[in-house]
Amino acid sequence: MNFANATFLKRLGVGLAGFLVALLAVHAQRQEPARGGGGQPSRAPSQAAAPSRAAPARAAAPQRPVMVDRASHGSIRHADTHVVQRPVAERPAFEVRRDVVVHHDVDVDVHRARFWNGFAQGRRWAALPLGCIALVVNGAPYYYDDGIYYQPEDGGYAEVYPPVGADVTDLPDGAIAIEAGNLVYYYAGGAFYVQQDNGFVIAPTPIGVTVPELPPGAVQVSVKGAVAYQFNGIYYQPVFVNGVTQFQTFMP
Amino acid sequence: MNGINRIINRTGQGLRLVVAAGALAGLCAKPAIAADAKPAMDPQADEFLKRMGDYLAQAQSYSVTAEVWQDIQLASGQRIQASRTIELQVRRPDRFHAEVRSTRHSRGLFYDGKSITLLNRVKNFYGSIPAPGTLDEALDVACERFGITLPLEDLIVSDPYRSAMQTAVSGSDLGPVTVLGVPCEHLAFSEGAVDWQIWIETGAKPVPRKIVITYRDEEGSPQYTAILSHWDFETKLPDFLFNFEPPAGASEIKVEEIKAQSEAHTKEGQ
C-alpha cells in the first residue's frame, strides 16, 4: 500500500509538472509576438510576464499612476468634463507636507478648525503661546506660532498681519495649496507662502488669485457699490467658481 | 496487489488525462478569460435602465429628495464622508429648481428657461448665467462653460437612459435588493475610469432609489452616494418655483467662466 501510494504520488507529481510545463510553454508562446518576434533573446518568466505595452512605456511614465482631479462629483453625464490630470508623484502639496489641504472646489460641509482661524488684528496678549518662534523680518522683531504673528507692544504682545518676507520652517497647519500662474502658493491666515530652500516665505499677495475662504478677520466693505472684503490692504471680491462661493483678490 | 495497481494505473491514466485536459484548458483558458474581461452590456441591466429612463423622460414634472454622501480625503490622508440634502423639482422641458443644504451651507439653483441662477443663502450672494433653451442645453452650458454640475443632473436630462449609456462600456444586473425597505434591482455600469451603480425600484414605478458613482481615476477612488426618496409625479409645479427673486439685501456677484479661471493672472500686489 505504501508502494502504491508512492507510485501514485510520483505519477501525480509528473502529471502536475507536465501541466505546469504546458502552461509555461503556452505563456512563453504568447509573450513572443509581443516582444517583437522570435529572434529576441528569451527573458525570465517573471520579466516576460509584464504586459507587452508596459515595457516601452515604463521608461517614460512616472513611477506612480496618473490620477485626476474633478471640480465636482455627482454626475455621470459630465464625469469627464474639466478633469485635470495630475501625476501623483508630482503633487508638491503631498511631498512637501502631508497636512496641506489641496484646494478642490467642492461644495461639501467639512469644518476645518485651524489655529490661525482665530486671528484678530491688534488683539493683545500678556504672554506668548508656548512654542513661539522668534523671527526678524525687515529688521523688526516678530514671534510666530502656527500661522499667527505677534509683535511686542506695551509690555505685552499683539497679533499682527503676516509680514511679507517672514521665513518659517513649517507651514501653518491646514495651509491650502493654490496654483496660480506657474507658482504653488500655500494660503493660510491671509498669507501666501511659497516654498524656498528648506522653508516657506510669505510672498506678496498675488492679485487675481482665487481662494476658497476669506482671511480670518477680513472686514466687509463696499467697493463701487459692490460687496467686498479687506484684509491687510488687500481686497477680496466674492465670485462663484464652479458654483461655489470663493474670493478673488483685487485692487480697486 | 495487482488489483490495487490496476486501480492506481487507471487512476494514473485518469490523472494523465486530467492533466492533458488541464493543459488543453490552459491553452484555451486565456482567450476565455480575455473574452470574459471584455466589457459587455447585460441586456437585462440595459432593459431595467431603459425602463427607468423612459419613465423619467415621460414625466412632465416631478420632485424628489436626495441625501448625498460624498467621500472626502482630509489633509492627513484620512477618508471621511460629507453629507447634504437635495430637494429637486423638475418641469420639462425647461424648468429646474434645487435646494442644496448641509449644516453650514445652503444653496438654491434656479432655471427658468432663460438663465440659471445660483443663490448662496448663507452669504446672501447670487449670480446668474444665460442658458436659453432646454434642460439638456442648460446642464451642458452650466458644466462646460462655468464648471457647475447641477445636482442630480443625470435624472434631469430629457433622456436619462440615452445620456447615461452614451459612455457606458459595460453593465450588469446584480439582482434584487432593498433600499430603505423598497424592493429594487441593483445594476452596475462602468465607463472607463468611472463606475456607477443604480438601484431601480421594481414594480410599476421604476424610479432610482440609490446611485453610487466611484471615481477610480482619483486618488483613493472616492465615491458619491445619493439615496433618493419622496418621488412625487402628481403635485403640479407652478412657475414661481423656478423664477428667481433676490432675497432682501442679497448682493449679485460674478459667476466665473472656466476660461477666465485658467487665465487668472498673478500680478503681485501689497
Domain ranges of chain A: 2-60
Q: Is residue B242 part of a domain?
A: yes
Question: Could you tell me which chain B residue has the CA closest to the CA of A7?
Answer: B8
B15 chain-A contacts, CB cut-off 8 A: 11-12, 15
* A31: contact with B, CB 8 A cutoff: no
The CATH number linked to B165 is 2.50.20.10
Do the Cβ atoms of B37 and B200 come closer than 8 Å?
no
By Cβ distance, the residue of A82, A233, A238 closest to B258 is A82
Over chain A (252 residues), what is each successive 10-residue block's mean pLDDT? 50 53 46 35 33 36 59 79 60 42 53 77 92 94 94 95 94 87 90 92 94 91 94 94 90 90
Question: Could you tell me which chain B residue has the CA closest to the CA of A243?
Answer: B148
Question: Could you tell me which chain A residue has the CA closest to the CA of B3?
Answer: A4
Q: Is residue B14 part of a domain?
A: no
Q: What is the ipTM of this complex?
A: 0.76
pLDDT at position B196 is 95
CB contact residues (below 8 A), chain B span 170-199, against chain A: 191-194, 196
**Considering only CA atoms, which of A216, A211, A212 is closest in space to residue A250?**
A211
Q: Is residue B16 part of a domain?
A: no
CB contact residues (below 8 A), chain B span 200-219, against chain A: 213, 215, 217-219
Domain limits at B68?
43-258
Bond before B39 cis per omega within 30 degrees? no
Rounded distance between C-alpha atoms, residue A175 and residue A146, angstroms: 10
How far does the CA of residue A130 sit from the closest CA of chain B (Å)? 24
User: CB under 8 Å to A158, separation ≥6 — which residues?
Assistant: A122, A123, A124, A125, A150, A151
Q: Which of B116, B117, B125, B149 to mutate to test the interface with A (most CBs of A within 10 A)?
A: B149
Q: Is residue B243 part of a domain?
A: yes
Question: Could you tell me which chain B residue has the CA closest to the CA of A234?
Answer: B270
Do the Cβ atoms of B59 and B93 come closer than 8 Å?
no
Q: Is residue B214 part of a domain?
A: yes
Q: Do B147 and A69 touch (CB under 8 A)?
A: no
Rounded distance between C-alpha atoms, residue A147 and residue A188, angstroms: 7
B101 chain-A contacts, CB cut-off 8 A: none
CB contact residues (below 8 A), chain A span 133-162, against chain B: none
Rounded distance between C-alpha atoms, residue B248 and residue B212, angstroms: 38
Assigned C-alpha cell, A243: 458654483
Q: Do B194 and A76 touch (CB under 8 A)?
A: yes
Q: Is residue B160 part of a domain?
A: yes
A81 chain-B contacts, CB cut-off 8 A: 143-144
Q: Is residue B35 part of a domain?
A: no
Question: Could you tell me which chain A residue has the CA closest to the CA of B107?
Answer: A244
Do the Cβ atoms of A55 and A43 come closer than 8 Å?
no
How far does the CA of residue B118 sit from the closest CA of chain A (Å)? 7
Would you tell me how many other CB atoms lie within 10 Å of the CB of residue B237? 17
Do the Cβ atoms of A209 and A194 come closer than 8 Å?
no
The pTM assigned to this predicted structure is 0.72
Q: Do A1 and B4 touch (CB under 8 A)?
A: yes
Rounded distance between C-alpha atoms, residue B184 and residue B212, angstroms: 14
pLDDT at position A82 is 67
Rounded distance between C-alpha atoms, residue A61 and residue A48, angstroms: 19
A242 chain-B contacts, CB cut-off 8 A: 146-149
Assigned C-alpha cell, B269: 500686489
DSSP letter string over A56-117?
HHHHHS-SS-EEEEES--S-STTTTTTEEEEEGGG-HHHHH-TTPEE------------GGG
Residue A221 vs residues A228, A234, B200, B217: alpha-carbon distances, Å: 5, 12, 51, 42
By Cβ distance, the residue of A78, A109, A203 closest to B84 is A109
Assigned C-alpha cell, B254: 460674478
Q: Which of A76, A102, A138 to mutate to test the interface with B (most CBs of B within 10 A)?
A: A76
Q: Do A243 and B224 touch (CB under 8 A)?
A: no
* A213: contact with B, CB 8 A cutoff: no
Task: Show the low-confidence residues of chain B (pLDDT under 70).
Answer: 1-39, 75, 259-270
By Cβ distance, the residue of A69, A99, A249 closest to B218 is A69
Q: Tell me how many domains chain B contains.
A: 1
Assigned C-alpha cell, A156: 505685552
Assigned C-alpha cell, A21: 510545463
Q: Which of A91, A237, A240 to mutate to test the interface with B (most CBs of B within 10 A)?
A: A240
